[in-house]
């Protein structure tokens, strides 16, 4: 039961997003050097508005059925600072699939993926604490995710999750919450730079 890496999930989700959306998508990925130097506030010169995704992978499921993800505190703080109070353009991507056995039974990873809008995370981001109230040595938050809902430790707080499949399939944005409507709005680039109906995203 080999574990699926973040890179494997990232590549597959990017490919399947294009299939779901039925639009040309232009993906930007930071190299390790760029990520270390500029972090998540990397700039591009394309003149468009971009959507930022932080992909996570997990092969650990709790007894209650939640999938447990780990998120470094510094990373979460950077992403929260990047989005400010703007909704619908900085997301954690949380696939509820984590190994090759699950992949065989559920090859449609988009249908198993949920988006956490970073704007739903409190600002400032609470420290990751142990049960004893000390800062966790790993510096990581634990995200316990299930369809439509996640709990982040600690101090524990709850956030909604948004269906990646629903957002991508509903290009008319009929009856979607503000976060889901904002997704397509931020993926619209200036037409003088890219062809009509071209979407752009940046992978952090």
What are the residues whose beta carbons fall under 8 Å from the beta carbon of 102, sequence distance 6 or more? Answer: none
Q: Where are the domains of the chain?
A: 1-22+52-171
Largest CA distance in the chain: 56
Whether the model pTM is above 0.85: no
Instruction: Give the whole-angstrom CA distance, residue 106 versus residue 194.
Output: 34
Cα(54)–Cα(116) distance, rounded to whole angstroms?
10
Q: Is 60 or 195 the better-scoring residue by pLDDT? A: 60
pLDDT of 31: 61
50/91: higher pLDDT: 91
**In terms of C-beta density within 10 A (0-12 exposed, 13-18 middle, 19 or more buried), how is residue 155 classed?**
exposed
What is the per-residue pLDDT for 174?
A: 54
Distance between CA atoms of residues 83 and 40, nearest Å: 10
Distance CA 92, CA 14 (A): 14
- Mean pLDDT, the chain, integer: 79
Instruction: Please classify residue 108 by burial: count the beta carbons closer than 10 Å to its beta carbon, then call 0-12 exposed, 13-18 middle and 19+ buried.
Output: middle
**The pLDDT of residue 143:** 97
Give residue-wise pLDDT tens across range 16-50. 888 887 766 767 666 656 554 544 344 444 444 56
- Express each pLDDT in 99-133 by its tens digit: 999 888 888 999 999 999 999 999 999 999 888 88
Q: Among the ranges 4-13, 20-29, 64-73, 171-180, which has the highest mean pLDDT value? A: 64-73
Looking at per-residue confidence, does 150 or 55 come out higher?
150
Residue 198: pLDDT over 80: no
Q: Which range has highest mean pLDDT (72-81, 139-148, 156-165)?
A: 139-148
Q: Which of 67, 91, 99 is nearest to 164 (CA)?
A: 91
Report strand pairing: 149-153 vs 157-160.
antiparallel
pLDDT of the residue at 87? 83
Q: Could you give the CA distance from residue 136 to residue 130 in angstroms, rounded to a whole number? A: 5
């Amino acid at each position: 039961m080999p574990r699926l890496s973040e890179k494997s999930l990232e590549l597959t989700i990017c490919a399947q997003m294009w299939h779901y959306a039925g639009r040309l998508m232009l993906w930007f990925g930071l190299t390790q050097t760029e990520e270390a130097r500029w972090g998540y506030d990397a700039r591009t010169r394309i003149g468009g508005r971009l959507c930022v995704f932080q992909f996570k992978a997990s092969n650990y499921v709790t007894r209650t059925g939640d999938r447990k993800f780990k998120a470094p505190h510094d990373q979460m703080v950077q992403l929260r600072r990047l989005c400010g109070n703007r909704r619908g353009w900085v997301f954690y991507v949380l696939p509820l699939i984590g190994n090759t056995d699950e992949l065989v039974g559920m090859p449609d990873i988009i249908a198993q993926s949920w988006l956490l809008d970073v704007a739903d995370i409190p600002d400032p981001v609470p420290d990751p604490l142990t049960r004893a109230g000390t800062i966790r040595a790993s510096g990581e938050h634990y995200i316990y995710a299930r369809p439509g809902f996640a709990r982040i430790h600690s101090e524990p707080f709850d956030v909604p999750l948004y269906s990646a499949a629903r957002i991508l399939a509903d290009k008319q944005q009929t009856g979607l919450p503000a976060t889901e409507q904002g997704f397509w709005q931020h993926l619209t680039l200036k037409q003088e730079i890219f062809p009509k109906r071209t979407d752009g995203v940046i992978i952090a």
